[in-house]
Chains A and B, each alone.
Chain A
Amino acid sequence: MRSAIFSFCSDPATLETFQWMSCYLTTGKHMAFYVSFGTVLLLLAFAAPSALLFGFGGAMAARARFLPLNWLGRGYIAIVRGVPDIAFFLFFVIALDQGLEYLRHKVKCPDWDQPIRQGNDFIVCDIAKLPLGNSAQWIHETYGFALAVVTFAIVFGAFAANVLYGAMQAVPHAQIETAEAYGLTPRQTFWRILVPQMWTYALPGLSNLWMVLIKATPLLFLLGVEDIVYWAKELGGSKTANFTAYPHPDWRTQYFLALLVFYLAFTKVSEVVLNRITTRLSHGQATLAGEAQRKTT
């Protein structure tokens, strides 16, 4: 009640429904719920471009003539796509975290004489911890969030790599031959002819990935980041009068309905934006959509 926004919130038990609701929906706990919507949007804002970057790198590697690079690209696509997301999120994040701590440990504490693995425990010296044990809570949370972004980027990057690889193969061969005939180097051909034309083939696949990514954010809680689904569950659970000023029965259905509306609205907006991008990318392309545009104008 300390941070109540409305002055009448000091004794919620006496309030009418409307006032009670306005107090209830502005508790600190609900503020955290609203903030978590921002967390999810922020995650998408970071994860989507990084995944695209991973995808682009993966697709380029998979097309490379240099064999080890080629294997790396293909291996990345095959392995990450094959492992279930949940397993990847649990295993990879702990492995990444412990790997970083291990490296820091080797650099910062060369005189350490105890084993790092003691039975079940993973022990590195205090100053090698990531983040440091005495860091503020927000640093721990930011670190967890960064791990989440990296993990999402790697997982969705593998799918994006396959989409982009297919799109690069789909660009008509005549375009490449013409570029070569004009004397463009392979590098120039790739960046000036292939890449600008492949997006129109990649977009349907990429937009699918984006839609799946939007709905994959509840995986965040596996990494300790409190997302909207966590809060909906926590807030919606029944509360008795002993421990809250706002007792209520099981309201999870209502909270999840609110999430449903959020997700539907968000995917709808995405759809509109993606449709616009599709139209723009089809412009002047030697595809059916491009041809249709040419005829109408």
Chain B
Amino acid sequence: MKSLILTTAALALTAGMGLADTVRLGTEGAYPPYNFLNDNGEVDGFERELGDELCKRAELTCEWVTNDWDSIIPNLVSGNYDAIIAGMSITEEREEVVDFTQGYTPPSPSAYAALSADVDLTGGVIAAQTATIQANHVVDTGATLVEYPTPDETLAAVRAGEADAVIADKDYLEPEVEASDLIFVGDDVPLGGGIGMAFRESDDEMRAKFDAAITSMKEDGSLNTLIEKWEVGGTW
């Protein structure tokens, strides 16, 4: 019994030492090109490559976890993973609950897409993903907002005629518009303050490490290379 306790204690100690090095990154896995599941079922996309590179520079071991968008902030706060890297725009509302790094993409425009050019963007029915800056914007314009839990369902709603148009990040809509009968309508809307990684407010030390890694990637141009490769909007 005594030796059992000792082994457990030893295990707990060694575990404690290894801990600081593993960071669990939470993402949605349903928002190409930022993050999506590839054919093998692994997390892939701009943020996968970016996250892996940031972890290498910060000398951390990272692991990827997918989580529903709806509960992505509550699960960060309650400690199921350590950071969110999921195409999340930096907004004041979210800053009250979590802390962001500096943006790793410049503020990028949102856009409307619809099946025909003559839809009414301020009086019609507009689809957006729940709890996004785009959903807030629709409410501000006075149009009727219909919310969906995943980005894919917002597109399906327009195709099925449930909504007149969809609003989302332009980088997300672009490949979809190219590949289908959807077209862009209206002007682009600049929303949000760029996309950043989110951390618990008590995790300043880890956030500083990732912040430094982002800075170094901005300085040596590797971040711009990644942005261009995945076509996620403007470069720095």
A243 adjacent to chain B (CB < 8 Å): yes
Partner of A250, one of B37, B61, B75, B159: B159
Known: A1-B39, A29-B39, A240-B178. A134 touches B156 (CB 8 A): no
B62 shortest CB reach to chain A, Å: 11
Taken residue by residue from 23 to 54, chain A's Cβ proximity to chain B (1 for < 8 Å, 0 otherwise) reads as: 00001110110000000000000000000000
Neighbouring B residues of A247 by C-beta, 8 Å: 179
Whether the Cβ atoms of B33 and A98 lie closer than 8 Å is no
A7 adjacent to chain B (CB < 8 Å): no
Taken residue by residue from 31 to 58, chain B's Cβ proximity to chain A (1 for < 8 Å, 0 otherwise) reads as: 0110011111110110000000000000
B18 shortest CB reach to chain A, Å: 5
Distance in angstroms between the alpha carbons of A119 and B33 in the assembled complex: 34
Whether the Cβ atoms of A121 and B202 lie closer than 8 Å is yes
Scan residues 164-185 of chain B and give those whose CB is less than 8 A from a CB of chain A: 175-176, 178-180
Distance in angstroms between the alpha carbons of A119 and B98 in the assembled complex: 10
Distance in angstroms between the alpha carbons of A1 and B36 in the assembled complex: 16
B131 adjacent to chain A (CB < 8 Å): no
Distance in angstroms between the alpha carbons of A238 and B41 in the assembled complex: 16
Known: A27-B40, A127-B16. A120 touches B77 (CB 8 A): yes
A245 adjacent to chain B (CB < 8 Å): yes
B139 adjacent to chain A (CB < 8 Å): no
Distance in angstroms between the alpha carbons of A3 and B41 in the assembled complex: 11
Interface residues on A, range: 35 or more
Query: Which of B19, B41, B44, B156 has the most A CB atoms < 10 Å from its CB?
Result: B41
Taken residue by residue from 1 to 32, chain B's Cβ proximity to chain A (1 for < 8 Å, 0 otherwise) reads as: 00000000000100110111110100001101
B residues with CB within 8 A of A: 12, 15-16, 18-22, 24, 29-30, 32-33, 36-42, 44-45, 61, 63, 65-68, 71, 75, 77-80, 82, 97, 150, 152-153, 155-156, 159, 175-176, 178-180, 200-202
Distance in angstroms between the alpha carbons of A94 and B32 in the assembled complex: 30
Known: A27-B40, A98-B78, A240-B176. A121 touches B19 (CB 8 A): no
Neighbouring B residues of A221 by C-beta, 8 Å: 68
A237 adjacent to chain B (CB < 8 Å): yes
Distance in angstroms between the alpha carbons of A293 and B94 in the assembled complex: 67
A132 adjacent to chain B (CB < 8 Å): yes
9 A-B contacts, Cβ less than 8 Å apart?
Answer: A28-B39, A28-B41, A121-B200, A123-B200, A133-B22, A234-B37, A238-B155, A240-B176, A241-B179
> Taking CB as reference atom, which chain A residue is nearest B203?
A121
Partner of A134, one of B22, B41, B97, B202: B22
Partner of A133, one of B24, B44, B156, B176: B24
Whether the Cβ atoms of B37 and A118 lie closer than 8 Å is no
A-B contact count (CB 8 A): 111
A residues with CB within 8 A of B: 1-3, 27-29, 31-32, 94, 97-98, 101, 108, 118-124, 126-127, 129, 132-134, 137, 140, 221-222, 224, 226, 233-234, 237-238, 240-247, 249-250, 252
Whether the Cβ atoms of B40 and A240 lie closer than 8 Å is no
Whether the Cβ atoms of B18 and A134 lie closer than 8 Å is yes
> Taking CB as reference atom, which chain A residue is nearest B42?
A28
A11 shortest CB reach to chain B, Å: 13
Distance in angstroms between the alpha carbons of A294 and B40 in the assembled complex: 59
Whether the Cβ atoms of B152 and A238 lie closer than 8 Å is yes
Partner of B15, one of A29, A118, A134, A233: A134
Neighbouring A residues of B175 by C-beta, 8 Å: 240, 242-243
